[in-house]
Amino acid sequence: MTKPDISVDVLVIGAGPTGLGAAKRLNQLGGPSWMIIDSNETPGGLASTDVTPEGFLYDVGGHVIFSHYKYFDDCIDEALPKEDDWYTHQRISYVRCRNLWVPYPFQNNISMLPKKEQVDCMDGMIDAALEARVSNTKPKTFDEWIVRMMGTGVADVFMRPYNFKVWAVPTTKMQCQWLGERVAAPDLKTVTKNVILQKTAGNWGPNATFRFPAHGGTGSIWIAVANTLPKENTKFGSHATVAKVDAAGKFVTLENGKTIGYEKLINTMGVDSLVEKMGDESLISLSKDLFYSSTHVIGVGIRGQRPERIGDKCWLYFPDMDCPFYRATIFSNYSPNNQPQASTKLPTMQLASSEKPLERFRARRSLLVHNA
């Protein structure tokens, strides 16, 4: 091929948190030349934030920042350095289970369950604790990890149904190396005491305290991180859309025809998308066997004050199969700027009517036909 239009030592595809983290580190190292590209105009990837014309903010998914890693914290603090850039929250979350609201972490608050479920969960936890004392092997699947840590009772009542809703893959089909500090392990003594005394555990776990941007939602974090990078090393928008990846020739062709040569490639787009752009039929065939899932994120903006019963709750879990969604986030509780200001005049899409039901139906049918 002819000489690429641009040549770098390291090319990063995708400006979500992972890609931005790689670019940030490359910039700090100061040695190899690098560039980060993304087809979206705004960096952030799947951790971005949408804003409606009315002024409602919706994260693409549910994201909160909690970390015990100084390097990560320093990166975020450099991007949003002022104290008033953030709100810090004590997590207030509940699990809707058996028509009851159980405080989270669920595994430490089974005292709120009906007696049968309490007994099942306690039996499982005791068995798990006894097994942990003699076992000399590590769990291989997520399901084995759940049973080893929490027992079959908590697994059946909460962890298995909830995680199947989240991932759309049975826990028996998932490995467990990814867990890290995402799932809080129960304390058997605390659980037993709370069951006997009918108490709930306090706010506990890795994300018991979290912070959230005062303005712009989660997406504002990654926009700010991108702004700490040299502009000449970033390329965002339609002119940075990857059309082809030539792994043998070590160059990428963009949809506008421009080419970028590289020595090393860091890819954060979907593996299936990458192999499609590589045009390797054997890899494309292998990628068809990969498991993946998708999520519908539905944002609802409501006029007026939130109901008192919602209070300062952060998010709610819904493991039971009689509910079609797995989680609800009260996003306006993360920051008052996630919603329009009280003085904002919102447009009224439809007024209540005193018409009879049949007349309303005819009017609606007429409107739909007219729109069609």
**Residues 64 and 35 placed together within one structural domain of the fold:** yes
**Residues 282 and 326 placed together within one structural domain of the fold:** no
The 10s digit of each residue's pLDDT in 26-44 is: 999 988 999 999 999 999 9
The 10s digit of each residue's pLDDT in 73-108 is: 999 999 999 999 999 998 889 999 999 999 988 888
327 occurs within a structural domain: yes
Per the prediction, the chain carries an average pLDDT of 88
Q: Answer yes or no: are the C-beta atoms of 7 and 30 closer than 8 Å.
A: no
CATH number at residue 240: 3.50.50.60
1 occurs within a structural domain: no
The dihedral formed by the CA atoms of 132, 137, 138 and 140, expressed in degrees to the nearest 10? -120
Domain final residue pick, 255, 287, 319: 287
Domain final residue pick, 252, 287, 322: 287
292 occurs within a structural domain: no
User: In this model, does residue 203 exceed pLDDT 80?
Assistant: no
pLDDT at 74: 94
User: In this model, does residue 366 exceed pLDDT 50?
Assistant: no
**Residues 263 and 220 placed together within one structural domain of the fold:** yes
pLDDT at 368: 41
* Lowest-confidence segment of 204-208, 235-239, 241-245, 332-336 by average pLDDT: 204-208
Q: Write out the residue range of the structural domain in which residue 39 sits.
A: 6-87+211-287
The 10s digit of each residue's pLDDT in 228-276 is: 999 999 999 999 999 999 999 999 999 999 999 999 999 999 999 999 9
**Residues 17 and 129 placed together within one structural domain of the fold:** no
In the structure encoding, which two tokens stand for residue 305, read together?
């004050």
What is the Cα–Cα distance from 86 to 77, expressed in whole angstroms?
Answer: 10
Of 303 and 77, the one with more pLDDT: 77
**Phi and psi torsions of 239, nearest 5°:** -75, 0
The dihedral formed by the CA atoms of 131, 134, 137 and 142, expressed in degrees to the nearest 10? 20
82 occurs within a structural domain: yes
**Residues 105 and 176 placed together within one structural domain of the fold:** yes
Full-model pTM: 0.85
Please report which confidence band the pLDDT of residue 208 belongs to, taking 50, 70 and 90 as the band edges: confident
Please report which confidence band the pLDDT of residue 371 belongs to, taking 50, 70 and 90 as the band edges: very low
User: In this model, does residue 350 exceed pLDDT 90?
Assistant: no
Of 74 and 63, the one with more pLDDT: 74
Overall number of domains in the chain: 2
363 occurs within a structural domain: yes
**Residues 34 and 182 placed together within one structural domain of the fold:** no
180 occurs within a structural domain: yes
Give the rounded percent of residues in the chain with a pLDDT score beyond 70: 91
342 occurs within a structural domain: yes
**Residues 201 and 106 placed together within one structural domain of the fold:** yes
Handedness of CA 332, 337, 342, 344 (dihedral sign): negative
**Residues 198 and 217 placed together within one structural domain of the fold:** no
**Residues 83 and 33 placed together within one structural domain of the fold:** yes
Domain final residue pick, 230, 257, 287: 287
The 10s digit of each residue's pLDDT in 272-297 is: 999 999 999 999 999 998 888 888 99
Three-state SS string over the chain comes to: CCCCCEEEEEEEECCCHHHHHHHHHHHHHCCCCEEEEECCCCCCHHHCEEECCCCCEEECCCCCECCCCHHHHHHHHHHCCCHHHEEEEECCEEEEECCEEEECCHHHCHHHCCHHHHHHHHHHHHHHHHHHHHCCCCCCEHHHHHHHHHHHHHHHHHHHHHHHHHHCCCHHHCECCCCCCCCCCCCHHHHHHHHHHCCCCCCCCCCCEEEEECCCCCHHHHHHHHHCCCHHHEEECHHHCEEEEECCCCEEEECCCCEEEEEEEEECCCHHHHHHHHCCHHHHHHHCCCCCCCCCCCCCCCCCCCCCCCCCCCEEECCCCCCCCCEEECHHHCCHHHCCCCCCCCCCCCCCCCCCHHHHHHHHHHHHHHHC
**Residue indicated by tokens 């969960």:** 121
Buried b (16+ CB within 10 A) or exposed e, 217-256: bbbbbbbbbbeebeeebbbbeeebebeebeeeebbbbbee
**Residues 96 and 198 placed together within one structural domain of the fold:** yes
Of 291 and 215, the one with more pLDDT: 215
**Residues 220 and 280 placed together within one structural domain of the fold:** yes
What is the Cα–Cα distance from 105 to 108, expressed in whole angstroms?
Answer: 6
143 occurs within a structural domain: yes
**Residues 74 and 215 placed together within one structural domain of the fold:** yes
